[in-house]
Every structure is written in structure tokens, then in C-alpha cells.
Amino acid sequence: MASHRRPKQPSRTRVTVLTATAAAAVALSSQAAQADPHQSKKDVKSEVDKLYGEAEQATEKYNGVKEQQEKLQKEVDDLQDKVARGQGELNQLRKGLGAVASGQYRSGSIDPSVQLFLSGDPDSYLEKAATLDQLSGKQADQLKTIADKQRRLAQERAEAASKIEDLSETRKALGDKKDEIKGKLGKAQELLNKMTAKERAAMQAEEDRANRSNSRVNLGDDVPASQRGAAALSAAQSKIGSPYVWGATGPSSFDCSGLTSWAYQQAGQSLPRTSQAQASAGTQISSQSALKPGDLVLFYSDLHHIGLYAGNGQVLHAPKPGANVRYESINNMPFMYGVRV
């Protein structure tokens, strides 16, 4: 039997998740401008870190908008399918009533009320209640069913049109946020490009040392928050060394909330996509001393960064563009609170 499922509209180009390097790529050359002599390497690093922080703030907003876009797209698809199925059902109902009318016509006794209905709007027709007296009970029920179906279809079409408009606005917001992230990363790369080769090498060496320090981290013997928390932490630990990529949710690269949501998914627990939403995924823990391995840890006043508490004052997280998943001291960032999922 032929399906009434409406073919999906061709999807727009999907938002491609770009690596921080690709998003901000600016070719290095021997002719690159030298840094401002009054701006030290420390100042440049501070400004780059500030831009990376702003890019991460924008990334979490991007993640939220992207999640909203995916939800709206599903709602639109479901509504369009529902309308298509409803139209098919309506066509069958009309066909059945038409068969009744055809039989009456062949016998020379077509009911004027049926004839009127088939040539006009059922809603208007049904308002003339007195006319229903001319119909058999079965015909009246058929007409009412068709009229109700038409009203529902009109409502569903209007709802689908509204959702499509919302989806269009969300896509624009997504594009704007993507441009903002690329702009921040681009500015950071421009600053890095103005440094001397020696300064860039020294900065990269610092980053490499931070990435290698994981093998020397003492996590202590803290008891995990729960069996599920322990499983989530174990999953995240298996991804140490994976690169930070904005908008990424694994399994080979992550942003901060992408890592925590992926880790808990491996433990059988679904988490919201963004750090701000994950902040409400469990019981809030205000004291660092009360944290246990597997707890979520939120940083910064707007909660735009999140990681997993690993024990002994260490947090496991996807830090920033250009860095890998690694342990760091919980005191390296402004701690807000923990969450026990």
C-alpha cells in the first residue's frame, strides 16, 4: 500500500564542526609581522586565553541553539508527516462518501444534502444543522468526521508553518554564533602569528607539558560519587589526549560539555547538551571538599565551562582550543559549584 508519508524537504547544508585550527587557520610565513615590542609573551598569552574563553562562551551558546534547531527540525518533520497522513485519511473518507453519492446518482435518487456537501465546504455545510435532518445517521457521521478531520489538518498546517518560521530564525542564530566563534579564534590566531617563532615554540612547549602531566597526577583514593559517576569518569579517562574541538561530542574530539555528556552517556545516563543545562542535572554541591570522583564541576559565573571531578583536587576536562582532554587543578579556574548526577 502506498505510504502517505510526505517526502522530507532537502536539508540545508549541515553545520560542519570545525577544529579550532581549521576555524582560525591563518598561514604562518617568514614575513609574519612581529609582535608589538611593548607587548610581552605573557601579555599575548593572556589575550589569547581571554579570546579562547570568549570563544568557549559562544560555543556553549552555539551548542544550545544547535540542540534547539535539532528539536525544531524533528517537530517540523513529525508535523509534516502527520499532515500528509491526515490528508491521505481525509481523501479516503471523501472517496467513501463519493461512492455513496455515486450509488444514489445511478439510482436517480442522490440526496440534495450529499450533493451540496460534495460541492462545498463541510464546515459551512454543517453549520446548517437543519439540513442534517435530510441525511441518514451514517451519512451525517461521515460528514462530521470529514469536517473534524479538515479542521485538524488546518490547525496542524498552521502549527507546521509556525515551526518552520521558528526553525528559520534558529538557523540564522546558529550561523551568527558560528561566525562569532570563528571570529574569536581567528583573532587569537592572528595574535599568535605575530609572535616570533621562538615565542610560539615556548608557548607550545608549555601546552605540551600540561598535556603530558596527566601521567604524574595523583588522584588520591576518594570514593566515587556513585557507580554511575565512577563509570562516567572512567569513560572520560579513556579519552585523555583527545583534542578540544568546539561543538564536538566525541568520540574522537570534544568541547567541555561534549566530554561530560559523552562520558555519562557511556555510563547509561543522558545529560543535556550545554554546561548551563547540565548544571541542573542533579544535586548541587557548594563545597569543593564535598566533591567526589564523577561529580560534574562548573566554572565561571555564567557556568560556561564544565568538567568531571577526578579526585584529590583534580578535574578532568576538555580545556580550550589547541589543548587536549587532561587533568588540571580545580583551582586553575573560578569554581562555582559541583553537581552530583
Which is the catalytic residue, given 4, 38, 256, 304?
Answer: 256
Which is the catalytic residue, given 4, 38, 304, 317?
Answer: 317
Which is the catalytic residue, given 4, 38, 304, 305?
Answer: 305
- Within 8 A by CB and 6+ apart from 300, the residues are 53, 333, 334, 336
Give the DSSP per-residue string, 35-94: PPTTS-HHHHHHHHHHHHHHHHHHHHHHHHHHHHHHHHHHHHHHHHHHHHHHHHHHHHHH
Q: HEC string of 136-176?
A: CHHHHHHHHHHHHHHHHHHHHHHHHHHHHHHHHHHHHHHHH
Query: 183, 180, 177, 185: which is closest to 62 by C-alpha?
Result: 177
Confirm if 225 and 293 have CB atoms less than 8 A apart: yes
- Residue in the block written with cell 593572556: 46
DSSP symbol at 13: P
305 assigned to active site? yes
- Residue in the block written with cell 583536587: 313
Confirm if 258 and 249 have CB atoms less than 8 A apart: yes
C-alpha cell, 117: 456537501
- State the catalytic residues: 256, 305, 317
